[in-house]
Chain A
Amino acid sequence: MRSASPARARFVSRLVEEVALAAPEWRDPRPFDTVYFGGGTPSQLSAEELGRVLEACRGHLRLETPAPWVFLEANPEDVTPEVCAAWRSLGVRTLSLGVQSFSDEALRFLGRRHDGRQARAVVETALAAGFDTVSIDLIFGLRGQTAEDWRRELEAAVALAPQHLSCYQLTIHPGTRFGVQAKHGQLSELPEDDQATLFETTHRFLSDAGWPAYEVSNFARGPAHQSRHNRKYWDHTPYLGLGPSAHSLAGPESSFARRGEAPPRSSSPVRFADASGPARRWWNERGTPGWERRLAAGERPIEAQELLGPKDLAAEALLLGLRTTAGIDLDGLRARYGVDLLAANDTLVARLVDEGRIVVRTGPEGGRCLVPTLSGMAVADGLAAAFDLSLPN
């Protein structure tokens, strides 16, 4: 069990306060059907502390009955059979393990505290604990990693048979340890051709093994195990984020303040008068101290917000859609944002179809979808920029 820590206790209390402050301003009538503990190291909180947060959510927000699907990200070193049982009893149904690798060498390079053997043991523990979905995160594209090395990692993962896999290519961000190393020339991202090879290897291998991709970095053993929560980020389903640097999105249909109502008490001067208005995304103070300070003052710890008009939402729908195997629902895009993507990009689409980057096909609901192929998904960022998103206005 976790030992008590005053800092942690204070953090949890503040989080509980934030739930209470945020709840009255959350106007979306739909119940929350998922709760996600992630970003940072939520498994460092004790089960009891996690329970306090969940309790606060239950008390202030409308959660789905009988219970929402709870996700928890966990560090391998925090995982024991006992704590798994405690998490299960809190309602955690997806446990996402930051395994990163099964290779001692790679783990050392990544600065992780566990080794390959522990990684395997932890996955087995989680699987034995009876979660609906156990997901493991892996990283590829490390310096010196060959396609063969990476294939061995994938084989190890598949042999353990988790329900879900996230495989992220190592990305070097400035300001991180890797960023600093890269700046000094001690580290670099793989050359593009090698990246492409590893990316394709990942998708082909996992698809053949029975874990087809549903997004650039996400693979599931059947649709039921796809992340119900993460998909919301990709299709503009509203979400409320709590904690330092958490992002939230309120859709136009979940009007922030309905007609005739007083404006919210938050820092937002904007009122959404009707459902055709903009969506709103806001994010919390990035640093924990700042976030705590705002809450201590009785304020919502919102750092900034942005309003998303049809053009912004369409741009996001495009860039997000091209990252998923479901692709972009063209009819939906037109209905929601007034963008006729095919008409505005006919020669581009023809060329990309010709090059095998995308296909246009009938979706499960009968509408037309623009779907990236594997090689198209590999260049989704560039593809998104290539399309013309002219709106009628």
Chain B
Amino acid sequence: MLQRLQHLLGIENLTREQITFILDQSKPFQEFQRHPLKKLATLRGKTVALAFFEPSTRTRISFATAAARLGADTMNLQAESSSLRKGESLLDTVRTLEAMRPDGIVIRHSSSGAPHFVAERLEVPVLNAGDGTHEHPTQALLDALTIRDRKGKLEGWNVTILGDILHSRVARSDIQLLGKFGTRITLCGPAMWVPRELESLAPKIHREPRIERALDEADVIIVLRVQTERMHEPALAAEEFILGYQLTAERLRLARPEALVLHPGPMIRGLEIDPVVADGTQSCVLEQVTNGLAVRMALLYHLVGGAPVDEPHPAKERSSAAD
């Protein structure tokens, strides 16, 4: 029996079994996206607070849609709007949230550890939508689902992660997750963005500064965004980056023939990825978006649904039809 997940703060502390459970549970929600009518009542009456301290359109809309399709209401707290004054302390925001009594909180914040801060102080399930340079667990889960669906299984592939890995929470969550499934991980990017300590994050992982070598035998390539808001340090000229690290069609051919190309989005076509590759048959970016919705629905269903953990449930027995 799977221990009930109370929060989703990161991949690091999830077991293989828990990850597999989440991926398995995402499948009915993938199927659901094909229904003509995409509205359930299963989380009706529940409210999910979306506390996005960092600007984000895609992830926020994905979570908002997931909640809405499950029938839940959402509360939108955004850094730009008046509901989260710039500079208002996290502690005050926590108190505000507590007063609003949501059934779940989705939080994105620029400080690593902010979701943990909230989870320690409130009895409400917390889902990490990205904290600082720490983790972005739902991205890793949807990446894993995409790989598993396309490749048939998740174990044992060669995965190359390309770009500014040091500042990427997506990369860290991907590394944590794939590391639990026997993946051989190759990290490739400009040296100052791929420090040695990254190799301590997973068992079979190494750095390879030359893209040609890094792509050799790759089954999956995860291309990272060039982050403008998280301070590339030092700033690298775009031409330098493209020269060394852009995923071109030609470079893609160095990988295995059926290699997948994943990208957390949004892509800057012509910078980290050649438009031909972005739109090519090996690119999985559109599935990543649909899978993101399915994963987030599965997570909200399990974490936000149901009675609060310490409330006893009335045992009205039904016949075995309600299995």
Co-assembled chains A and B: no
